[in-house]
Structure 1
Amino acid sequence: DGVPGAAGAAARRSEPDVIRPWGRAPRAGMEVSRGGGARRGEEEEEGGEVSLREWLDRPARAVEAPECLHVFRQVAEAVADAHAQGVAVGSARPSCFVVSPPFARVAFIESASGSDASGSDASEDADHDAEPPRQGDGAGRAGEDRSEKGFPLKSVLAMELNWYTSPEEADDSGGGATFASDVYRLGVLLFELFCSFETLEEKMRAMANLRYRVLPPQLLLKWPKEASFCQLMMHPVPDTRPKMRFMSVIYI
């Protein structure tokens, strides 16, 4: 806005093709408030960054729509940027990202081992039996069992890879990540962001049902828009899932 004539058009064309369905993220120095607006942080939270996995599984985590969408948007933009370069990410899972307080800034901590894509999809060799990546000291010490701060981390990490594996990847042991499977993973992430669980058993049941796109009633009632978008991204037919460059239009 404010860039006149041809210069404005050129500036708009130069913007990266990323998802922006929920408006602008809070500016630096602002944090999302419970009321859905933004307020200035008075002081930094104690402690450093934690893995997105630990952040999601905080005990009694309150689901704040602006905060959840802010986190999702950052991960989705990272995936969109990779797709724009012809690369399937393959590791867009919570254990591969860190969140920095107090503004919920998200950063990718694992080098994407994606491969070039000449068409609509890309492939990479993936070992679905491999252990989840180990985090660095600043990423939440993934090797530790933190049952006193949330769900047992080792147990969750062991299951996360299955949760974030698309049906076509599970059926094809020799296949790898594609653009469509990345979109599937974003659907799983959106579900986790908008669902908070009291026990690990409750979460495991919900994640097992999610495999069949069966969502909890409370999610359907409270967040119907996000629930429908989640189901669309997790469609069992890969070609039916939205492409990253069109996700904003479809969502709106």
Structure 2
Amino acid sequence: MSVEEEGMSLREWLWLKHDDDNNKIERLRMYTQVVELVDFAHSQGNPLPDLRLSNFLLLPSNQIIYFPSSSSSSSTRHYSSSSYHVTPELEKRWYAPCPHQEEEDDLFSANVYSLGILLFEILCCPFVSVEMHSAAISDLHNRILPPTFISHHPHEAGLCLWLLHPHPSSRPTTREILKSQLLSGTEDLYPQSTYSVIVDKSKDVEFEILLDFLVSLKEQKEKHALELHQYIQMLETDMNRFQHNNVSNMLQTRMKKYISQLETAYFSKRSQLQLSEAVSNERNDLDLLRNRERCPVQEKHVGYSDDFLNGICKFLRYSKFEVAGMSEMDNILNSANVICSLSFDRDENYIAAAGISKKIKIFEFATLLRDYVDVKYPVVELLNKSKLSCVCWNKYLKNCLASADYDGVIQVWDACTGQGLSHYTEHQRRAWCVDFSHVDPTQFASGSDDCSVKLWSLNNFSSCSSHMLAFGSADYKIRCYDLRHTRIPWCTLADHQKAVSYVKFSDSDSLVSASTDSTLKLWDLKKTSLEGTSTDACCMTYRGHRNEKNFVGLSVLDGYIACGSESNEVFAYHKSFPMPITSYKFGCSDSISGDESNGQFVSSVCWREKSNMIVAANSGGSVKVLKLV
């Protein structure tokens, strides 16, 4: 009888154990055997090729052996017909180091990286679907762990992040893994009062960042113990969930810089947990925003701590902007080069730029990234009769885009032929914006200085409902309408001190607005009221950029917010915290310091959804592709 006939792959074993919620110790024992096998091979000077879950077999004697030839057969039999199927090719992609990591010249260190993936799989498998499984592995390559994993396996999460360190030299050896208390003392790990985990002291680990914040805040609150006793109790409860190791002075300085803002956000999340989920005055109209049949299922956070952890990890994931490409328009000193609007096409292969030059210039995005090309020429140029204020590409119809201009004309274009398809002249004054619905590609709206929003097109649509429309106005307010009942606004939001220039839906329950009062605001639509103005719906105010008179752009993507500034800078925020993540100054090598140059300002920004890149343009006609790193 062959080895394969006598045993089963670890992937098959995990599937058979998927209903057992109390087998964590058994899974860690299996993982310890795997590490021992890899360690033995390393001690003989032989790294293991193709190290992945299906290449380890569990024999009837409960012994694990490395048998790479098993993957081709066992992968076809270890799931029932009702479960998803993991092919050898897919599994190999999961266990390959992430492309943006350092080159894996050291195969021994590459084995350790694969052990990090394997540890995550042993503790988490199986998933509901292969798509969710692949998404989790993709996040893992970026060292992003699910909040539920961190909550249920805090010790293992620290070890996992160490094994997946982007620098091979900073990963542990297999012998160091075996000597860790997590594996060497597996039987003593439970009861849960033990909090021993090996964390690399030199790496920027999300656990260390969050824990350093909690400890720093605890020290501050202990000075006022009598007055703040309740706060300290809250902090001590949460600190018990995380293992603390010393972090670098740089991280401590960075956390203390924003300690007051982080404190506010932390206790805000904390207090939300204590509030009843059932609000007596909640309106039935909220069903309009909670209708998510067309939206992907979103994972619910376990609690405030997971939500806060997710936010702080995303906030500190990036620290600066890096220029990935750029383009300078002709005659940079000419004021006619102000770019007022940017928009990507459906597939994000082309970007349209429009402004007061009366032209819509369409660039191939890939050409903007080529350093060896000094002058980037547009592939198509559309000529308009008047200065352009806004351009928007239809997200479903590839060649269809719309524009708004200073004469109040709304134009629909065929980007492929460069011809105008139709135009609308109902506005009496300058039209400032136009936007296609993200749900219904046939709907679009425009807003104008004539104090009207025309319903052939929408200023801004909710990406979760074809009925919701929101727009800002010069009276400092934001109005949301249900297009099925347009007699009165569905809600009116007020907290800005000056005119509202942009409104973007962040998700089905919230939107972001920009104003010339130099602030952005996040609004919770669950806290709005049909009667009167909703003044308590603002849940976050963002400050750092400068905006007093110009349109500087606003773009949102996956919780990240980008806007321009009259200091000629691009700013990035995360919705969880009121301070900017970073900024980039046009024409200045220092991304933080530097004064305004020649009165120029950033006039438009646009996230590229397929990457962590943003395209930004300023009033001097300069276009730059910036990458968050």
TM-score under structure 1 normalisation?
A: 0.61
* Distance across 1 between alignment mates of 2:32 and 2:11: 16
Q: Which residue of 1 aligns with 2:72?
A: 134
Alignment partner, residue 85 of structure 2:
152
Distance 1:104 1:51 in 2: 12
Match status 1:182 vs 2:182: no
CA distance in 2, matches of 1:243, 1:109: 22
Q: Equivalents in 1 of 2:39, 2:68: separation in Å?
A: 16
Please give the alpha-carbon distance, in whole angstroms, between the structure 1 residues aligned to 2:147 and 2:92. 25
Gaps of 5+ in 2: 183-629
Alignment of 1:1-252 (within 5 A): 49-58=7-16, 60-63=18-21, 64-101=23-60, 104-110=62-68, 133-135=71-73, 140=74, 142-143=75-76, 146-148=79-81, 150-154=83-87, 157-167=88-98, 178-196=107-125, 197-251=127-181
C-alpha contact 2:56 2:66 (8 A) present in aligned 1: yes
State percent identity of aligned pairs.
30
For 1:105 and 1:145, the matched residues in 2 are separated by: 18
Q: 2:65 & 2:138 partners in 1: Cα distance?
A: 28
Alignment check: 8 A CA contact 2:12 2:79 kept: no
SS at match of 1:167: coil
- Deviation per CA, 1:190-230, whole angstroms, max 9, x where unpaired? 00011132222221211111111111111101110001100
Query: Deviations along 1:116-151, whole A, 9 cap, x unmatched?
Result: xxxxxxxxxxxxxxxx9423xxxx3x3458452632
Distance 1:169 1:162, change over 3 A: farther
Q: Which amino acid aligns with 1:109?
A: F
Paired positions, count = 176
Q: Which has more radius of gyration? A: 2
Q: Distance in 2 between matches of 1:90 and 1:71?
A: 20
Report if the CA contact (8 A) 2:150-2:157 is conserved. yes
* Structure 1 residues 68-117: Cα deviation after superposition (integer angstroms, max 9, x where no partner): 1111011100100011011111222112111235x643221137xxxxxx
Say if 1:221 and 1:88 are closer, same or farther in 2 by CA, change over 3 A: same
Q: What letter matches 2:95 in structure 1?
A: Y
Indicate how the Cα distance of structure 1 residues 210 and 86 shifts in structure 2: closer, same or farther if over 3 A, else same: same
Shift in Å at residue 250 of structure 1?
4.5
1:251/1:168 Cα in 2 relative to 1: closer, same or farther (>3 Å)? farther
In structure 1, the residue matched to 2:407 is: none
Equivalent pair of 2:7/2:59 in contact (CA under 8 Å): yes
Q: Letter of the aligned partner of 1:226 in structure 2? A: E
Note the aligned Cα RMSD (angstroms): 2.9
Flag the structure with higher strand content.
2
How far 1:176 sits from its partner (Å)?
Answer: 6.3
Distance in 1 between residues matched to 2:15 and 2:177, nearest whole Å: 27
Residue by residue over 1:35-57, the C-alpha shift from the partner in whole angstroms, topping out at 9 and shown as x without a partner, is xxxxxxxxxxxx95221122234
* Higher helix residue share: 1
